[in-house]
A = this chain, B = another copy of it.
């Protein structure tokens, strides 16, 4: 059990492939029976569809099939589901927790999910359709509806007895919720409290009444932040009348955070926020096209700016040779500044009241780094051009251009995301093509302005 996950995956995949080649069915069946469904999901991704179906047929446990569905990569899941008979899909989904089943259905094309839902409804699974009626990315959409709730008047002993006989399906029991006669949430208990009080105590006498709850329409990111901030294992979800309708558990919260981090990273690179690695070349092209347009417009603008200085360029052709280093230094320090600010805001390490200190700090850093690299690049320029431009004004122009480009980049890179956050626009979209391109234009403009003025003296 102390193998790294990656090695375990590899060994399992190789073993199963070997047994499939050999047709060692009974041995395979044993391995499939022992392996955790989350591990099997990794194996499925490396098998042909025929072998996937063979393996799937060897899983006896409905629970295990459900976990497998949840853990499979989207593309693998879709292919597998398309190849399975409707009955066996419905059977698995009916056995799953309703939030996980809703998750799967949301991934399927509409016509397939509708057929499945139709069939499940005919068999009385209406809960699932209820979940799907909530908006994407809200608490209602991701909550589990298999929670344990007791009436406030029953005793600890009665609650324990009820646990022993029913509620086998409920997801991860660690909090027990207490409701009044109208199913409104009034308290919470831990299993532990239940076993440590005298058996005849009514729940309302020892339940905690100071409960964190979230509304069905709350954004999932907000829910995740609440669970993380208060270090709780599950949070109850209530409707607008405070009726308990579901719970969100900490394992879902982990998924939300990973998803949000990915979205932020992709947004920062200008690839939309839901780029899927497995999508087709054409869809991928379509997602990335608009973001690159900003960069294209910026580039054309820079072109017109430089064209305006054509007479200087015609006289001093080597001026062009410094464009890449000036743009590159500005672009890179700008990316650093905006990344630091965007991530700082996302993790809560930076808050709005830090507005001026942060910008001042970034500007100072940009200035210092600008002076360091401006000097370095000016020295190179002077060494190369000391015969052509003995005055040293070329070196001076380049040095000053690097300093101004880097300071401005640090300023713009930190200020734009802060401003976006202030007007409640997601700061992550402020970085990437947008910031980079504006910095490019400004850098180039200042460079030619400085150079033209100094060299024409």
Which of A's residues lie within 8 Å of B, judged by CB?
A: 1-2, 4-5, 36, 38-39, 45-46, 71, 73, 160, 163-164, 172-174, 190-192, 194-196, 211-215, 218, 222, 225-231, 233, 250-251, 253-255, 257-258, 261-262, 264-266, 268-271, 275-278, 281-282, 284-285, 288-289, 291-292, 295-296, 298-300, 302-304, 306-307, 310, 313-314, 317-329, 331-333, 335-336, 339-340, 343-344, 347, 349-351, 353-354, 358, 361, 364-365, 368-369, 372-373, 376-377, 380, 384, 432-433, 436-437, 440-441, 444
The smallest C-beta distance from A400 to any residue of chain B, in angstroms, reads: 16
Partner of A288, one of B45, B231, B331, B333: B333
- A292 touching B250 by the CB < 8 A rule? no
Known contacts A230-B36, A296-B325, A368-B281, A254 near B251 by CB under 8 Å: no
- B336 touching A215 by the CB < 8 A rule? no
Q: Give the residues in chain B near A191, CB-CB below 8 Å.
A: 174, 191-192, 195
Residue of B nearest to A276 (CB): B349
Q: Give the residues in chain B near A327, CB-CB below 8 Å.
A: 323-324, 327-328
- A320 touching B329 by the CB < 8 A rule? no
CA gap between A231 and B261 in the complex, in Å: 19
Q: Give the residues in chain B near A303, CB-CB below 8 Å.
A: 321-322, 324-325, 380
Q: Give the residues in chain B near A432, CB-CB below 8 Å.
A: 332, 335
CA gap between A270 and B195 in the complex, in Å: 53
The smallest C-beta distance from A39 to any residue of chain B, in angstroms, reads: 8
CA gap between A369 and B281 in the complex, in Å: 11
Interface centre among A299, A300, A377 (most CB of B within 10 A): A299
Q: Give the residues in chain B near A299, CB-CB below 8 Å.
A: 324-326, 328-329, 377
- A436 touching B268 by the CB < 8 A rule? no
Known: A227-B254, A269-B336, A313-B317. 16 other contacts (CB 8 A): A4-B222, A38-B230, A228-B255, A228-B258, A261-B261, A265-B343, A268-B339, A288-B336, A295-B332, A296-B377, A299-B326, A299-B328, A300-B325, A300-B380, A307-B318, A328-B437
Q: Give the residues in chain B near A73, CB-CB below 8 Å.
A: 349
CA gap between A378 and B368 in the complex, in Å: 39
Residue of B nearest to A294 (CB): B332
Q: Give the residues in chain B near A335, CB-CB below 8 Å.
A: 269-270, 432
Known contacts A163-B192, A213-B1, A329-B296, A250 near B258 by CB under 8 Å: no
